[in-house]
Structure 1
Amino acid sequence: MAKTDWKFNDMVTETDMNELGQEVNEQAAAIGDMPTVPTEAKDAAGAIGELHGELDEMKSDSRITVPIKTGAQTIQGGNVPALVFPKIEGRTLINMLGDLGNLEELSKVIFYQSTGVLDSINKTVGNYGVKATILNGFTLGVVAASASISYKANRYYILLADVKNSNCEEVFIQTASSATTKLITTADSSKFSTVATKFSPTTDIIGSAEVVLKGVAGQVAYVDALRVYEITATEYYELDTMNGGELGEKYPYLGKGIYGVGNPVITSIQNNLLPDFNDWRFNAGATAGAGISLLGPNSIILDATESPAGAEVVVQLDRVLLEPNTSYVLNNTSTSGYMRVRFDYKDGTANSRIVIPPNTSRTFITTINTIAMAVLLTNISGYTDENNMATYSYSKTSHTYTDVSLIKGAHSQSVKRQRQSSSTSIVELYSNGSGSHKDSVQYISGQLKKIKKLEKIVLDGSLPWNYHSNAAGYKIVAIQLIGLPAIKTVPQGYLTKYDGKPCINDLGGVAVWPSNDYWQIGNSTYDTLFISVASSDSGWGNSYTPTIDEIKAYFNGWRMYIHGGSPAVPYNGSGTKSWVRIIEWDNATPNNVPTIPSGGVYKNYQLLYQLLNSSVENIQTKGAVVLEQGDNTITLSTNNVPIFKASLTYAENLHAVISDLEREVAKNDLKVSNTKIMPDGFNVDALIETGKYSVYNAINAPRGNGICYYDVIKHYELSNYGSQVAYFYGSNQIWTRRKLNDMWTKWEEVTGKLSKTGNESVTGVKQFLNGLSVQAASVPPELASPGCIYADGANGMLYYHDLSGWKLVYHSGFSPYVAGGYTGNGAAVRDISLPFTPSSVLVMANNGATLSGTSGFGGLSNTSVPVNINSNLIVQNGTNKFTIFFNSSNGQQSNNSSYVYNFIAFR
């Protein structure tokens, strides 16, 4: 039987694993009698490995991979509880309007054939929306953000806005004078809805994003949250299948900057969809005199006897995610207390409500736009319209609630308490413009890791900026991207400026840029970023060249101008310099260049570029997700950008579960604390560097379906030769093989089953789990082949075997260098003998001089680079020697008669 008292790190809770262990016991009993499990294991890792070995004859690691999306969905678990291995891919969203789409200032909004005012009531983001009215004599009115957008040929775009149509015939969004495809229009006057269009131009154009009111003079619509995103072709062709609510959810309003999928959280819920009362909000309305008493995790008293007459007292669960078009049952088990529910919708539909009387079950079916519900325990005593809170009456009474439940599907009389597990990854995931390269989070050898393919950099004043060149109306500045991951050749990416709008990535070269707000990563090694900065942004006049500190001040959010004048007038070299914050034009700082960030609403330039080579990064994670048999409600949530593609892989049967457990616990095994964990399915033929490695289900492993550990020795004298020793996790089997002329020999099992002492010998070779060792008396014949090492411990000597035979590489009397001296004799050429062939020799005169003008008295000589001045040799390495020279006419000498010289020679 498997143990049930295992201990694990926070990837899986101890409770989860104990319960899973009990399930393993039950499954083992169901399978029937099994061979006795060895008793050598001293920890959970060993026990799991041994159990897996006993189950090997089943040989059925059946796993299921299912797609998941943002929000709630139901997944059927397998025959046993199983760990879930998620894969989540990145997305990048950049609002091409920057922060102008929030419509907070009328001066930054364009009205055409219409008029508009700010409205603090009818809004969806920020402090204001815009109320627009069609002018007399027109049937169309336009509201647009005051920004020109550079649309590129054969790219894909979506334009969206939040609109509440008061009384127009129709409201939609478009790009002026271009063939846009209407996706969603609105005539709804009850709420804000998402309007959208898609757009893919065949040529580069400068366009707009404008909301169009269609109707007659005097008709009104409310507008907010304009946004324009470049998207992938895959997304573009799926837009036609989405409604306004889904589009608004996939493409939410984002302000200025570059956004990726942030901190994804996956949660699995089984049984009751309502959590224990510990997770509810007590007296959520802060009603005076209310009394809330928690009797236990699933029992609570709501007491309104001391609250004011007519006041509601509630215990509230704020948000339960729901699936669309799905039947649910809410069960109120209280004998006297009411419950009520508020439904939330993703298309902006007004909330709806239902009331559940005492001791009643209520079945409801969600709509296609339902996303969540709030559940409240309440002192309601009656109502005339359950969807209208104004008709509710409340009583000064006390009620007890125990085991209230929400389940999907048919009503069940017996509902278990909620079980929940979750996994959080602290990470941000991006993609390139086409979606061909995406960051992702996935399991690699039992740990969630980030597969990084893009790099995001915040460009501020702390970086080593340089001035590059000048053009009418703008300057070009540059920075070397030193110390950052290598950039993909012909780099693609995004650069956003301080107002959030993307700059234009021009691959043609800085010499042909037509204006400001262009950028490029250039030079032959693609290591320098060039940006064109408008004089109207920086305050650097056409005839002025900024200093490096002034460039840094700009990237900290400061604009230069003439002190005492208008900040709108650039500085051209005369008068006192002064700086103001770029956006607000305040906090004036005369004379001294600002060295700190300006603060306020300024947001640093940001750069996102594609890496030449992807990398695997450790990330901070918490928890793990477990699927149980039957229905599992899976929810996925992220910060900023919703995911477009994600999946879960989980085991369907006992053998696969044990495989996953074995992979999980490997990282906790102290025996392999210094072992490098390689990706699952790695080809171990590529393990050629000296070190310790762990691979799950490796290609070319000596044994499949599990973890093998590898000790690798690389022959550094002969790089085509090396050796590997492998042992299988959970057993004592050991294999060896050699690399000869870049070809690996077949794996040979050298041990069979070993005891824990590891003292068995095979043909004189002593075996250990960590490699091979030999006795000093004689070298066994099977070791006498290229790439092997022989240690003579008794005499302190170490040999290696190359193609010509055994070579002594070290003995305890060896020293890595020889130091000495000699007195010059004036000979033109003279050899100084050494006990070895040196790699480097340093010679200097006794007074320490090595060079004097064009004269030389020594120097550092390497194997292939002698000391040579004006074509005259001074010091040169040789076999078991070095050579010194005397040139009387030119003063270059290391053998001057009667001069005393010192030297040090290195092996």
Structure 2
Amino acid sequence: MKYTTNLQLKKPDYTDPADVQDFNDNMDTIDEKISSHEADIITPLYQNTVTTTNQINSIITEFCKQMKITKIEGLTVVNLLGTDGDCEDVGRWSQSNGTPSLDSSNKVIGSNSIKITSQTIGSCGVYLNIVSKSLDASKYYCVSAYLKNGNATNVYLMKYNGSNYTSLAGTTITDATKFNKVMYKFAGSENIQFLMVMLTSTASGQYAYVDGIMLEEITATQYADANFVPSPYVNGDYSVGESFTVIKTRGKNKLNLVQGSYGTSGNFVAYVKSLTHRDGVITAKPGTTYAVSLSSPLKYAVHEFDCNRNLLTTAVSWSASAVSSFTYTTGSNTRYIAIQFTIDDTTRMYAEDYQIQLEEGSVATAYEPCKEAYMKIPYPLRSVPSGTTDEITEGKWIKRIEKAALDGALSWSLFAHGTGFKRVVVSLSNIYGTSTSVLYKHNSKVLPVNGSGTTADSYMLFSNLDASFPNQLFITIPSADSGWADAYTPSVDELRAYFNGYKMYQLESGGSMTPYNGTGTKAWAKINQASPSVSGVDYSLTTCPTALCGNGYIPYRLYYQLATPVILEINQPNLVTFPTGDLVIESSSKSWVRPASITYQIAGSLKANIDEVMKGLSASRRLNHTYVVASRNFTSSIVIPNATDINIDSANVTVNTYGVYVAVIRATWGPNAISANRKAWILINGAGYDCSIVSAPDSYTEHFIVSVIGLAAGDKVGVRVWQNSGSSQPLAFANVTLCRVGDYVEMKEGD
């Protein structure tokens, strides 16, 4: 009888009698030993759920540990002003001793801001009528806006509740150098009817600016939270994952540096690169001190950005001299920073030569390379006010919420006439019911539920199990909006024209736009246009329109819970935490939504020295590859020609030691609605080794390839991509990660 070295398990020889008890004894021994280490194997060190009011959440672990994201809850943010807040149309504003005009030189969102010029001395401004939004007296709201003074005394927000005018506390701005984001939280019971942007003028002709006005519903908890941060500006509605959004862990050093280019002043600079951002910014905490250290002195300039990545600092201000370290404290509105470094006006510099480190705190510590790991949120994660959300959990995308764009492409029917309105109906699918739905009108007004359909501007949604109206949506449309007189019966095409953004009227009535009653000439004008005649140009149509009207029009949107959720298996890689690191949420879009919450587990058994695992990488690459997950990234968008193999050379990794490696290749394409095939390969010394083929029906299609490969010293591992959409398409991101997992032993004949 022989025995194993560690557990002394019985190993009978061929000559020993077979005894079942020996096998039972072995199993008991194994069971006992495994159970004594069960916590190390399957029990997480801890589990935590973070709400994402803060974009950065600190994670402190002694070692690099495995993080498993167990749940991500979706969120939909709605700007109740619709597109009125983008400040691209002065026709939506009324005057209160102030003249509005578009200004393309001073702006935050889109192409213009609204410049307000005083008509007299004192309080002058413009206002939006928000009575039509039907705010709920039992709920809470937040209004935020970007304000910039010109040459007035100040600029501020004001409310009118039907009897009193009151300036909104904390919104007064005197700064004439940049836009400042202000906010005001209020209860619906305040009965705000007009939202006003006012300036204090000491002479006629003084001016100020406003842009990016956001009105959103918030919870009672957010209303009471002194540290609440309003959502980034969105036009209409936006959900988690509608842009390229990632959850990222990073280590002590927050800087991932790349080669720069000549700036406007002639300085050659190195600047921060980021996984998701194309403008060189990195996520930072507000009101926080950071220490920056360099291996050799350089001059520097710091720029700060708000939650929409709008520049808060007004101009490049270089340090007076080159330094080896400095500290910097961010402002209260700062959510991103960018740091530029330079030697002088002409000398080309290489960022990797300077071992630059940015860390939280006021004291610089020993340098370590930037270490990052990330996972992409691959699909939209939506929510409805009832609390039902989409989520990603345990490797599954669970879609509970459907978003239906209620435009003219749907098959609308007239159901009934009412006094001052029409009731229309359309068929949808897989509806759970009204209680877990919300309907936003084209102006983002939240419509109330009315099962009997007896009031205008209401809706009713019937479940898939309803005996009379399964999967039916009913909406009551005011005659004042549609332009259909009570006695008139609109055709199917005319119903569709309304949902495409057009109002019908009698052409002979001109600017008064009298509802069409069956006599005279039919005409249509855009709903979001105050008059069919603008600046003397007649914009009316006498042929029923069949396409969306444009002009910033957003159709009705219905969010509703699915009776049967869609469940899809997805690739959900684990992350790695780093000592003194943090968890960051980032997006490629300036207008985006953070998840409602993220739940993660930190495993207690992963204490491997990843530096040792990665020692096989060549010294020239080791700066970016000290850790498995801080691998070679190519993040600048590149255009890939049609039907052409393209090697992404900047993502190559060179191996320095013989061994067995796990190679992970990720490649992400930009948004494209063209149906096509896309391919990505792992390249070994320029030759394709393994291939991923995906179709391209949705935005940011991603390849993910994992292969175990034997590699020799000097081998290069890289990425090749290809697409056949018929035209050139953007590749947003490519990444190579290598992990040495063992020695490579060449098998000889006879072994």
TM-score range, shorter chain: 0.5 to 0.7
- CA deviations on 1:28-64 (whole Å, 9 max, x unpaired) are xxxxx9648999xxxxxxxxxx999954313432323
Residue of structure 2 in register with 1:880 after alignment: none
1:143 aligns with 2:126: yes
- CA deviations on 1:145-181 (whole Å, 9 max, x unpaired) are 2453312221212222222234436623324347989
Q: Secondary structure at the match of 1:428?
A: coil
Contact 2:301-2:341 within 8 A present in 1 as well = yes
Residue 209 of structure 1 and its aligned partner are, at CA, apart by 1.9
- Once the two structures are superposed, the pairs formed by residues 449-528 of structure 1 within 5 Å of their partners are 449-450=397-398, 452-481=399-428, 483-488=429-434, 491=435, 493-498=437-442, 500-507=443-450, 509-511=452-454, 513=455, 515=456, 517-521=457-461, 527-528=471-472
Residue of structure 2 in register with 1:375 after alignment: 339
**Distance in 1 (alpha carbons) for counterparts of 2:548 and 2:8:** 69
1:152 aligns with 2:136: yes
Residue of structure 2 in register with 1:443 after alignment: 393
Residue of structure 1 in register with 2:639 after alignment: none
Residue 413 of structure 1 and its aligned partner are, at CA, apart by 6.9
Residue of structure 2 in register with 1:406 after alignment: 357
Residue 424 of structure 1 and its aligned partner are, at CA, apart by 0.8
- Once the two structures are superposed, the pairs formed by residues 694-709 of structure 1 within 5 Å of their partners are none
Q: 1:532 aligns with which of 465, 476, 479?
A: 476
**Distance in 2 (alpha carbons) for counterparts of 1:578 and 1:621:** 53
Q: Secondary structure at the match of 1:234?
A: helix
1:544 aligns with 2:488: yes
Residue of structure 2 in register with 1:210 after alignment: 196
Unaligned runs of 5+ in 1: 1-32, 40-49, 288-309, 381-393, 658-907
Q: 1:103 aligns with which of 68, 87, 95?
A: 87
Q: Which amino acid aligns with 2:397?
A: K
Contact 2:159-2:193 within 8 A present in 1 as well = no
Contact 1:160-1:173 within 8 A present in 2 as well = no
Residue of structure 2 in register with 1:809 after alignment: none
TM-score by length of 1: 0.54
**Distance in 2 (alpha carbons) for counterparts of 1:332 and 1:535:** 68
Residue 595 of structure 1 and its aligned partner are, at CA, apart by 4.6
Residue 379 of structure 1 and its aligned partner are, at CA, apart by 4.1
Residue 234 of structure 1 and its aligned partner are, at CA, apart by 2.0
**Distance in 1 (alpha carbons) for counterparts of 2:607 and 2:51:** 21
Q: 2:593 aligns with which of 614, 619, 642?
A: 642
- Once the two structures are superposed, the pairs formed by residues 79-478 of structure 1 within 5 Å of their partners are 79=63, 81-136=65-120, 139-148=122-131, 149-166=133-150, 167-168=152-153, 171-177=156-162, 182-190=168-176, 191-202=178-189, 207-213=193-199, 218=204, 220-238=207-225, 240-242=226-228, 246=229, 250-257=230-237, 259=239, 262=242, 264-275=245-256, 280=258, 282-283=260-261, 285=263, 311-317=266-272, 318-334=280-296, 338-345=299-306, 349-351=312-314, 353=317, 355=319, 360-380=324-344, 394-395=345-346, 402-408=353-359, 409=361, 414-433=366-385, 436-444=386-394, 447-450=395-398, 452-478=399-425
Contact 1:94-1:502 within 8 A present in 2 as well = no
Identity %: 25
Contact 2:238-2:592 within 8 A present in 1 as well = no
Q: Which amino acid aligns with 2:430?
A: L
Task: Sort the Cα spacing of 1:195 and 1:413 in 2 relative to 1 into closer, same or farther, 3 A.
Answer: closer
Task: Sort the Cα spacing of 1:376 and 1:79 in 2 relative to 1 into closer, same or farther, 3 A.
Answer: closer
Unaligned runs of 5+ in 2: 12-28, 273-279, 533-537, 609-751
Q: Which of structures 1 and 2 has the larger relative contact order (alpha carbons within 8 angstroms, sep 6+)?
A: 2
Residue of structure 2 in register with 1:654 after alignment: 605
Task: Sort the Cα spacing of 1:554 and 1:620 in 2 relative to 1 into closer, same or farther, 3 A.
Answer: farther
Task: Sort the Cα spacing of 1:400 and 1:116 in 2 relative to 1 into closer, same or farther, 3 A.
Answer: closer
- CA deviations on 1:558-590 (whole Å, 9 max, x unpaired) are 444567885835443345656565556688775
Contact 2:137-2:188 within 8 A present in 1 as well = yes
Residue 354 of structure 1 and its aligned partner are, at CA, apart by 5.0
Task: Sort the Cα spacing of 1:236 and 1:220 in 2 relative to 1 into closer, same or farther, 3 A.
Answer: same
**Distance in 1 (alpha carbons) for counterparts of 2:157 and 2:366:** 50
Residue 449 of structure 1 and its aligned partner are, at CA, apart by 2.5
Deviates more, 1:57-66 or 1:229-238: 57-66
Residue of structure 2 in register with 1:63 after alignment: 46
Q: Which amino acid aligns with 1:341?
A: V
Q: Secondary structure at the match of 1:551?
A: helix
Q: Secondary structure at the match of 1:171?
A: strand
Q: RMSD across aligned C-alpha pairs, in angstroms?
A: 4.0
Contact 1:426-1:621 within 8 A present in 2 as well = no
Residue 439 of structure 1 and its aligned partner are, at CA, apart by 1.3
Task: Sort the Cα spacing of 1:115 and 1:321 in 2 relative to 1 into closer, same or farther, 3 A.
Answer: same
Task: Sort the Cα spacing of 1:208 and 1:215 in 2 relative to 1 into closer, same or farther, 3 A.
Answer: same
How many residues end up aligned between the 2 structures? 551
Structure showing greater radius of gyration is 1
**Distance in 1 (alpha carbons) for counterparts of 2:119 and 2:546:** 50
- CA deviations on 1:698-722 (whole Å, 9 max, x unpaired) are xxxxxxxxxxxxxxxxxxxxxxxxx
Q: Which amino acid aligns with 2:69?
A: F
Residue of structure 2 in register with 1:818 after alignment: none
Residue 267 of structure 1 and its aligned partner are, at CA, apart by 0.9
Q: 1:572 aligns with which of 511, 517, 524?
A: 517
Task: Sort the Cα spacing of 1:430 and 1:168 in 2 relative to 1 into closer, same or farther, 3 A.
Answer: farther
1:632 aligns with 2:581: yes
Residue of structure 1 in register with 2:568 after alignment: 618
Contact 2:144-2:181 within 8 A present in 1 as well = yes
- Once the two structures are superposed, the pairs formed by residues 667-682 of structure 1 within 5 Å of their partners are none
Contact 2:115-2:210 within 8 A present in 1 as well = yes
Task: Sort the Cα spacing of 1:85 and 1:51 in 2 relative to 1 into closer, same or farther, 3 A.
Answer: farther
Q: Secondary structure at the match of 2:224?
A: helix
Residue 122 of structure 1 and its aligned partner are, at CA, apart by 3.0
Q: Which amino acid aligns with 1:343?
A: E
**Distance in 1 (alpha carbons) for counterparts of 2:10 and 2:82:** 65
Contact 1:323-1:371 within 8 A present in 2 as well = yes
Task: Sort the Cα spacing of 1:431 and 1:322 in 2 relative to 1 into closer, same or farther, 3 A.
Answer: same
Residue 266 of structure 1 and its aligned partner are, at CA, apart by 0.7
Task: Sort the Cα spacing of 1:641 and 1:52 in 2 relative to 1 into closer, same or farther, 3 A.
Answer: farther
Task: Sort the Cα spacing of 1:354 and 1:503 in 2 relative to 1 into closer, same or farther, 3 A.
Answer: same
Residue 144 of structure 1 and its aligned partner are, at CA, apart by 0.9
